[in-house]
Amino acid sequence: MQTDSSFTFVLFGGTGDLSMRKILPALFEAHRAGGMLADSGKIVAVARHAANRGEYIQWVNEHVKPHVSKNGVDETAWASFLERIEFVNIDLGKAEDFVHLRDAIKDLPGIRVFYLATGPSLFVPICHALASVGLNENSRIVLEKPLGYDLKSSNAINDAVGEIFAEEQIYRIDHYLGKEPVQNLLALRFGNALFEPLWRREWVESIQITIAEELGVEARGDFYDNTGALRDMVQNHLLQLLSIVAMEPPHSMDSDSVRDEKLRVLRALKPIDPRDIGKVAVRGQYHSGGIRGTAVPAYATESGVRPDSTTETFVALKVEIENWRWAGVPFFLRTGKRLADRVAEIVVNFRAVPHSALGASALRAGANRLVIRLQPNETIRLYCLAKQPGEGMNLASVHLDLAFDQFFREGQMEAYQRLLLDVINGRLALFVRRDEQEAAWRWVEPILNEWKASNKPPKPYASGTWGPAASSAMLAQHGTCWLEEEN
C-alpha cells in the first residue's frame, strides 16, 4: 500500500487512551513499514495535558512506546517517527484557541485529516471551532463511536457535522471493518466461485456472529453504564459484520458500491415487534465469577457503575433479513463482557444432506459449517465429513484450516493501521455512511425502548460462562446451538 500522499494528521485527544493504545501505534507501524506514509507527512497532537512538544514527546515515549511492535521497537524507526510529531496545547472547549491550531498547521503540507479521539459531546463544538478558522475546507474528519445515544441524538450530531463537512469528507470509523479476516470475508465471497452458489437460503440453515470479551468494563464504568452492550457493540460492530456477510455482490469495491449493498441489508432487517422482543432478544448482566482462575467482581460493584444498574453487559438476538436471498434464515448475534473466552467469529451453518445414504453416523456427525474467526487467532475453517479409518462407514467431522499467520509469512496489518491509511488516501469503502448508521439505529431503537419501558432487570450470568441460559434456549428452539470451541 505505497503512497505519495502528503498529509497533516491532527489528533484531537492526543493523550487519551485510544491515541495511546491504537492510533499512534498504528501510525508508527505504517511509518516503520516504509513507503506507506509520505516522508513529508506530519502528525499534530492536540491536548491540554502537556505544556509543549518536549513534554508531549516524553509522554509518547513513556505511554505509547510500550504498545508498539510486538517483536520489539526499531529504535531508528522510532526516532524518525517522533520527528513527524508536532504538538499544540489548546482547550477544546474554547473556539478562540483554534486560531493557535490554524497558525501551527498553516504551512504544513498535504491533505488535512482531523481525528476526533474524544468524547462525542465534543464532536460538534470541535467541528464548529474548525469552521470558525476555515479549517473545514479541503480536509477530512474522522469520528469515533459512539455517534449518539439513539436515532435522534445520532441525527443531531450528523446534522451538525454535515453543515460543516460534506458527506465525502466524513469518515465514521468502525475498526472491525479494518480487520484482515473481514477483508478476507469479502475475498472469500466475491473472489471464489466455490461459495457464492451456496451463500443463500437454499443451502444455509443459520448464521451466528459472536463478539465475546473476557474483560469487564475496566475503567469505563461511567461511560458503559450509560451505554450498554446493545449500543456499544450491536448497533455498530455486529450489524456491520451482518451486513457484510449478507450483502449482494457489489459492482466494484469502490466506496459507494460496497456501502450501497450493506445499506440494502440493513433496510431489509425484519422489524422486531415489541411484543416479540422477549422471544428474540436476551439481555444479561455479569455477576461475580472467575476468568481463567482469577476471581472477578460483579458488574454492579465495578467503579463508576450504579449499584442498582439495569444496564446490559450481554445481548443475544435472533435477526431475520426479508429479502430473496435470506428469507427464513435466522441470524444469531451475540456479544458480552466477562464471558468464557475472548473471541470474535462468524459461523455459517449449512443445511444437512437431504438423504443420508451413508447411514446414521452421517447424521450424528453433523452438517458442514464455515467458521471465520476474527480474533484472537485469525483463521478460516471449513468443516466437512470424512470416513473414519477402519471397518464400516463411520463418519467424523474434519476441517480444512487456513491460518493466516502461517500461510502469509509477512506481518498482517492491524485494523487501525489500514483504516488510517484509507483516510489519508481518501478511501471511504470501509467507513460507515450516514444512511447506514441511521438504518442500524432505526432497527435497534424498538429494542432499547421496550427494555426501558418494561424496566425488567437483565438476566444474571456468572463471569467466566457464556452468558444467560436463555441465550442457548433461544437457539435450541431452532434446533441449533452456539459454537463454543476452545482457542
**Is residue 56 within 8 Å of residue 45, measured between CB atoms?**
yes
CB count within 10 Å of CB 238 equals 26
CA pair distance 181, 278, nearest whole angstrom: 33
CA pair distance 151, 199, nearest whole angstrom: 32
CA pair distance 452, 87, nearest whole angstrom: 44
In our burial notation (b when 16+ CB lie closer than 10 A, e otherwise), range 372-384 reads bbbbeebbbbbbe
Angstrom CA distances, 440 to 87, 154, 190, 238, 270, stand at 37, 11, 24, 10, 12
| Active site residues per annotation | 237
In our burial notation (b when 16+ CB lie closer than 10 A, e otherwise), range 338-369 reads bbbbebbbbbbbbeeeeeeeeeebbeebebbb
- Terminal-to-terminal C-alpha distance of the chain: 31
**Is residue 316 within 8 Å of residue 282, measured between CB atoms?**
yes
**392's grid cell:** 464400516
- Longest Cα–Cα distance of the chain, Å, equals 83
What is the Rg, in whole angstroms, of the alpha carbon atoms belonging to the chain? 24
Q: Which of 48, 30, 47 is nearest to 39 (CA)?
A: 30
Is 11 in a helix, a strand, or coil? strand
**Is residue 229 within 8 Å of residue 334, measured between CB atoms?**
no
The pairing of strands 42-47 and 7-12 is parallel
CA pair distance 330, 206, nearest whole angstrom: 5
Residue 410 CB contacts under 8 Å (≥ 6 apart), including other chains? none
Query: Residue 358: what residue type?
Result: L
Element (H, E) at 362: helix 360-365
The pairing of strands 111-116 and 139-143 is parallel
Q: Which of 119, 87, 84 is nearest to 100 (CA)?
A: 87
